[in-house]
Amino acid sequence: TQLLEQSPQFLSIQEGENLTVYCNSSSVFSSLQWYRQEPGEGPVLLVTVVTGGEVKKLKRLTFQFGDARKDSSLHITAAQPGDTGLYLCAGGSQGGKLIFGQGTELSVKP
């Protein structure tokens, strides 16, 4: 059974601080995707990484896929209150299936 462990589960920081969210597994995934979800809405895709060692940057967000394609991280620089939300990592599996981590609830206080 493929599992993704995401940490930390909860994160409360002040505006301007940096943070990193981790996603780890003992399984190899074909891709690692990061989503952000706001209350009452569905997850919104932030990025997909497919190559081991790949790094993608989206403004203040940096995503990394581990060399062995078993882990990933999301780093946010100078967090803002608008970054508040539930961050989810998801591993691509066969047959159109995504395996989701438990999520990281991020709260950025002004």
Partner 1 sequence: KAGVTQTPRYLIKTRGQQVTLSCSPISGHRSVSWYQQTPGQGLQFLFEYFSETQRNKGNFPGRFSGRQFSNSRSEMNVSTLELGDSALYLCASSLAAVSDYGYTFGSGTRLTVV
Residues that bind partner 1 (CB under 8 A): 30-31, 33, 35, 40-45, 48, 50, 88, 90, 92-103
Q: What's the sign of the alpha-carbon dihedral 29, 66, 21, 47? A: negative
Q: Work out how close the CB of 58 gets to partner 1 at its nearest, in angstroms, rounded to a whole number.
A: 13
Closer CB to partner 1, residue 30 or residue 107? 30
Closer CB to partner 1, residue 95 or residue 110? 95
Closer CB to partner 1, residue 42 or residue 82? 42
Following CA atoms 64, 108, 89, 71 in sequence, which dihedral angle do they give, to the nearest 10 degrees? 40
Q: Work out how close the CB of 37 gets to partner 1 at its nearest, in angstroms, rounded to a whole number.
A: 8
Q: How far apart are CA 94 and CA 32, in angstroms?
A: 13
Q: Work out how close the CB of 39 gets to partner 1 at its nearest, in angstroms, rounded to a whole number.
A: 10
From residue 83, alpha-carbon distances to 16, 28, 60, 80 in Å are 11, 29, 10, 5
